[in-house]
Amino acid sequence: MQPSVETAAHQPHEVSFDITVNGVAHVWHRRRMSYDDAVKLAFPNGPTGGDIRYSVSWTKPDGQEGGLRPGQSVEVVDEMTFDVRNTDKS
Amino acid sequence: MSAIRTSRSPDLERLEAEGFRLRIVQGSAHHLLVAGIPAVNSRREVVRGTLYSPLEIDRDGKTVNPVSNHQCWWIGQEAPCDSNGRVMSEMISNAAAEDKGDGIVTSVAFSRKRADKTPYANLHEKMWTYVRMIWHEAQAIDPACDPRTERAVPAVVEAQARVFRYPDMATTRAGIGAATAKLLTRRVAIIGLGGTGSYVLDLLAKTPIAEIHVYDGDDFLLHNAFRAPGAPHIDDLKEPKKVDWFGAIYERMHMGIIRHPYHVLAAQLPELEGFDFVFVAIDDAKARKVILEFLIAHKVPFIDVGMDLALDGENRLRGTSRVTVGTPEYHTHIAEVVSFEAPPADEIYRNIQVADLNMLNAAMAVNKWKRMRGFYADDVREHHSLYTIATQVLVKEDRA
């Protein structure tokens, strides 16, 4: 299913996943995505830190889904989708 | 909503005049009980039991005919038997106890339709149908027994404290008085009557909360009309205070809408101490911080809501709706998942909101509150959820 992952253990630099973050396509070269990684892909210029919290949700093509909180990370697969939002409006 | 008078309904008036012992309960739902019905028990003794029917009435307190619900229920030590002491199972649709709410628990459910399957014309015909079947068996043992008293007795009407200006027939018709009663709450606050807060009010106004306090200092402007329940007339758009605009609408139905035409800042925090539950639906991250910290410190349970939408490269919106619960028992996740600092307003952080996502965010919040109260089953018991539109992801975290 993911040949790039199979070889990744031996050749970590070859890892490559096509993902989208907030609807924008990215190629991701690591096997995991952390909360900080996802926020940085979504908002490269921030703001981050302090009391700012983003709501991160993700889904994989097989239907798995979940969230990411500060300090957490998730295994990345091809065609994985992340949404990173500042859910502070009413 | 005033106390029911049997004189408004010929069917009830006739049952009363015939000597039936009627008890009418106006609570979370509306109920009719007819006490003193002679029935046979399994030892072939004549005992008395009570027939129960939901009571559907119109806005004027008059019974709605023909009768929409053909069923009756029995309240008694045993299910009614025939004269041989055999349970009349042919008319029993459920032999288990059912909680009808307002303190009424039935023991057996009956189902007996008219021969031609049409609805009963009125409650007189319906109640008599069930009375006759049960009483007939008792008469075989004691010919003198009678469900009627010799002289008419006035119906006993028990009207509980009123919340609505007219009776809640949605609960009565659905037969969910026991579930609705779990929503009985003294004082609830909605902080913020923006897009989401106004839809929260729309839903809470239909629940039996005694007092719904609404806090907002803003005016109701043209753009708000497109992110709120209902449809204002152009002549209504004279920039009333939001609490006055929505207060006037929902007071038409709910008697306990209390307006607070100001924002909740540090000075107003003590007002929040006495609430049983608080919905926080505001945009200001700094205000959110002080409000949530106060609620946690004073052990007031709350739900904080928030949403975010942004355009992608093809002018399509992507966004997420968040619902976060804090209770005296579970609140340490709040600082991890709720933003307490406002990002600087720039192109990226435009305030985009759309009515259906406000409505969804509000519905998720009210649904969660109803699950916390036991109105809905709540198997997951999450304290934080995210719904994302494009991916249809529903994150459910902090289960406890």
Q: For residue A20, tell me if it sits in a domain.
A: yes
Question: Whose CA is closest to B37, among B46, B45, B26, B28?
Answer: B46
Q: What percent of chain B has pLDDT over 70?
A: 98
Could you give the ipTM of this predicted complex? 0.87
Query: For residue A11, what pLDDT is reported?
Result: 52
Per-chain mean pLDDT for chain A: 89
Read off the pLDDT of residues B88-144 as tens digits, 9 standing for 90 and up: 999 999 999 999 999 999 999 999 999 999 999 999 999 999 999 999 999 999 999
* pLDDT exceeds cutoff 50 at A7: no
Structure tokens at A36: 């900080």
Per-chain mean pLDDT for chain B: 95
Read off the pLDDT of residues B279-332 as tens digits, 9 standing for 90 and up: 999 999 999 999 999 999 999 999 999 999 999 889 999 999 999 999 999 999
- Residue B266 gets which letter from DSSP? G
* pLDDT exceeds cutoff 60 at A5: no
Nearest CA in chain B to A53: B339
Q: For residue A90, tell me if it sits in a domain.
A: no
Write the single-letter amino acid at A56. Answer: V
Task: Read off the pLDDT band of B160 (50, 70, 90).
Answer: confident
Read off the pLDDT of residues B165-214 as tens digits, 9 standing for 90 and up: 999 999 999 999 999 999 999 999 999 999 999 999 999 999 999 999 99
pTM of the entire structure?
0.89
Question: Does A40 reach chain B within 8 Å, measured CB to CB?
Answer: no
CB B53 within 8 A of CB B47: no
Q: Omega into A47 within 30° of 0, i.e. cis?
A: yes
Query: For residue A6, what pLDDT is reported?
Result: 42
Residue of B196, B344, B388 with shortest CB distance to A83: B388
* pLDDT exceeds cutoff 60 at B87: yes
Structure tokens at A12: 């970590």
Task: Give B221 to chain A, closest Cα distance, Å.
Answer: 15
User: What is the C-alpha separation between B387 and B391, in angstroms, rounded?
Assistant: 9
Q: Any residues with CB less than 8 A from the CB of B136 and at least 6 apart, and which?
A: none
- Where in the sequence is the domain holding A53, given as residue range(s)? 3-85
Task: Read off the pLDDT band of B3 (50, 70, 90).
Answer: confident
Q: What percent of chain A has pLDDT over 90?
A: 78
User: What is the C-alpha separation between B157 and B400, in angstroms, rounded?
Assistant: 43
**Among B residues 232-291, those touching chain A with beta carbons less than 8 Å apart:** 281-283, 285, 288-289
The strand pairing partners of B241, in sequence order, are B219
* pLDDT exceeds cutoff 50 at B24: yes
* pLDDT exceeds cutoff 60 at B347: no
Task: Give A34 to chain B, closest Cα distance, Å.
Answer: 15
Cα–Cα separations (whole angstroms), residue A10 to A2, A27, A77, A90, B290: 15, 20, 18, 49, 51
User: What is the C-alpha separation between B219 and B86, in angstroms, rounded?
Assistant: 69
Query: For residue B342, what pLDDT is reported?
Result: 82
User: What is the C-alpha separation between A3 and B116, in angstroms, rounded?
Assistant: 70
Query: For residue A48, what pLDDT is reported?
Result: 86
Per-residue exposure over B68-91, b if at least 16 CB sit within 10 Å of its own CB, e if not: ebbbbbbbbebbbbbeeeebbeeb
CB B303 within 8 A of CB B325: yes
CB B146 within 8 A of CB B14: no
Query: For residue B348, what pLDDT is reported?
Result: 56
| Interchain CB distance below 8 Å, B337 and A69 | yes
Question: Does A24 reach chain B within 8 Å, measured CB to CB?
Answer: yes
Query: How many structural domains comprise chain A?
Result: 1
* pLDDT exceeds cutoff 60 at A19: yes
Question: Whose CA is closest to A90, among B354, B175, B380, B29?
Answer: B354
* pLDDT exceeds cutoff 60 at A2: no
User: What is the C-alpha separation between B301 and B303, in angstroms, rounded?
Assistant: 7
List, as own/partner pairs, every contact residues B112-120 make where C-beta atoms lie below 8 angstroms and the sequence separation is at least 24, other chains included. Answer: B112/B70, B112/B72, B113/B70, B114/B70, B118/B66, B119/B66, B119/B67, B119/B68, B119/B70, B120/B66, B120/B67, B120/B70
Q: What percent of chain B has pLDDT over 90?
A: 94
Query: For residue B138, what pLDDT is reported?
Result: 98
Task: Give A57 to chain B, closest Cα distance, Å.
Answer: 7
| Ordered structural domains, chain B, with CATH | 6-161 (no CATH), 184-397 (3.40.50.720)
Give one DSSP letter per residue of B325-346, joined into a string. EE-SSS-TTHHHHS--SPPP-S
Q: For residue A15, tell me if it sits in a domain.
A: yes
Question: Does A83 reach chain B within 8 Å, measured CB to CB?
Answer: yes
User: What is the C-alpha separation between B196 and B74, in angstroms, rounded?
Assistant: 44
What CATH number does the domain containing A44 carry? 3.10.20
Read off the pLDDT of residues B358-391 as tens digits, 9 standing for 90 and up: 999 999 999 999 999 999 999 999 999 999 999 9
Q: For residue A54, tell me if it sits in a domain.
A: yes
The whole-number average pLDDT for the span B29-58 is 97
Q: For residue A69, tell me if it sits in a domain.
A: yes
Task: Read off the pLDDT band of B345 (50, 70, 90).
Answer: low
Residue of B305, B321, B339 with shortest CB distance to A53: B339
Q: For residue A65, tell me if it sits in a domain.
A: yes
Left if phi > 0, otherwise alpha if psi is -120 to 50, otherwise beta: which for B315?
Answer: left
User: What is the C-alpha separation between B15 and B46, in angstroms, rounded?
Assistant: 22
User: What is the C-alpha separation between B128 and A33, in angstroms, rounded?
Assistant: 71
Q: For residue A27, tell me if it sits in a domain.
A: yes
